Amino acid sequence: MSGTLITVAPTGAEVSKTSVPALPVTLDELVATAKECEALGAAIIHVHIRDDAAAPTLDQGRLRDTVAALRQSTDLIVQLSSGGAVTDPESDRLAVLDARPEMASCTMGTVNFGDGVFMNRWEFIVDLHTRMQERGVVPEYEIFDLGQLTTLQRLLDKHGLPAGGHVHVDLVMGVPGGMPGTAAALVACEAAIRDLPAGTTFSATGIGRSTIPVMLASLSAGGHLRVGMEDTVTYARGRPVESNMQLVARAVGFAQLAQRPPLTPADARTLLGITRK
């Protein structure tokens, strides 16, 4: 498939609503953002939710309500974050799957994350991967450093392919503590991805100012795109991001310039081996 899979990651767990008032944190704000981003060309929404104080939460009731509301209002593939915030316990992160999303993230290793540590022990990774297989939740394997692709290969060798049989990874580049958001790093990852099962696809996102070099490198290397205020809150030097739609519109423009127009959610499901439940 020659089009571009565009994922929007509108909220994340780290950006504060106080410093970035345009960040969608309520369910209404999230649904409105999702609808507009879908209309622009997004096919997947990577979801972190917030509580009434706009703090990150993995509250089960809120997660279920969020999945239901997004399904009702959009055709987007709902991908819940199992990463949460660096402070979330493993038990809550595993319980994210109980909200029955079509997709969930699954990170392939521990990484320093700014001043924190994003913990992903091997046994936890195996637990998450196998529970997703059992429940038919399609993973997006999050890769913060080159060696995590080797961990993914080990995981697939020992525990089998994910639900749906297709392997899709997301390169999260430029996290302080992870790999840099550069074309050279992306090319190194792309070479390692060739050792994964045939047909493995990847998307990439660059944190902060690496967003544009990573987008251009990913499109050139045959990859897909993730954008959103989880990763980028400055549109250009001195210009705060006004909305997630602004970032999705820019990604769509780049994809069109590359003659790889955005995939619809239906096309994305076909690519990723997802059967809509």
Applying CB under 6 A, the span of 9-17, 19-27, 204-212, 240-248 interacting with ligand KMH comes to: 9-17
Work out how close the CB of 219 gets to ligand KMH at its nearest, in angstroms, rounded to a whole number: 23
Which entry of Zn ion, ligand KMH, none binds 85, CB below 5 to 8 A by partner kind? ligand KMH
Applying CB under 6 A, the span of 59-67, 78-86, 130-138, 147-155 interacting with ligand KMH comes to: 78-86
Q: Are strands 56-57 and 49-50 parallel, antiparallel or unpaired?
A: antiparallel
- Residue least distant from Zn ion (Cβ): 81
| Buried/exposed 235-266: b ≥16 CB within 10 Å, e otherwise | eeeeeebebbbbbbebbbebbeebebebbebe
Work out how close the CB of 158 gets to Zn ion at its nearest, in angstroms, rounded to a whole number: 25
Q: Which residue, 143 or 260, is less far from ligand KMH as judged by CB?
A: 143
Work out how close the CB of 93 gets to ligand KMH at its nearest, in angstroms, rounded to a whole number: 9
Interacting residues with ligand KMH between 118 and 157 (CB under 6 A) = 118, 142
Q: Tell whether residue 13 is a contact of ligand KMH (CB under 6 A).
A: yes
Q: Which residue, 81 or 148, is less far from Zn ion as judged by CB?
A: 81
Q: DSSP letters along the chain, please?
A: --SB-EEE----SSS-TTT-TTS--SHHHHHHHHHHHHHHT--EEEE-EE-TTS-EE--HHHHHHHHHHHHHH--PEEEE-SS--TT--HHHHHHGGGG--SEEEEE-S-EEETTEEE---HHHHHHHHHHHHHHTPEEEEEESSTHHHHHHHHHHHHH-PPTTS--EEEEEE--BTB--SSHHHHHHHHHHHTTSSTT-EEEEEE-GGGHHHHHHHHHHTT-EEEESTTT--EEETTEE---HHHHHHHHHHHHHHTT-PBPPHHHHHHHHTPPP-
Work out how close the CB of 157 gets to Zn ion at its nearest, in angstroms, rounded to a whole number: 26
Work out how close the CB of 168 gets to ligand KMH at its nearest, in angstroms, rounded to a whole number: 13
**Which positions from 36 to 75 touch ligand KMH by CB under 6 A, shown as an x/- string?**
----------------------------------------
Applying CB under 6 A, the span of 21-29, 79-87, 158-166, 260-268 interacting with ligand KMH comes to: 79-87
- Residue from the set 11, 81, 148, 243 that interacts with ligand KMH by CB under 6 A: 81
Which entry of ligand KMH, Zn ion, none binds 243, CB below 5 to 8 A by partner kind? none
Work out how close the CB of 257 gets to ligand KMH at its nearest, in angstroms, rounded to a whole number: 28
- As a whole number of angstroms, the longest Cα–Cα distance in the chain is 48
Which entry of Zn ion, ligand KMH, none binds 142, CB below 5 to 8 A by partner kind? ligand KMH
**Which positions from 57 to 86 touch Zn ion by CB under 5 A, shown as an x/- string?**
------------------------x-----
Q: Given the rule CB under 5 A, which residues bind Zn ion?
A: 81
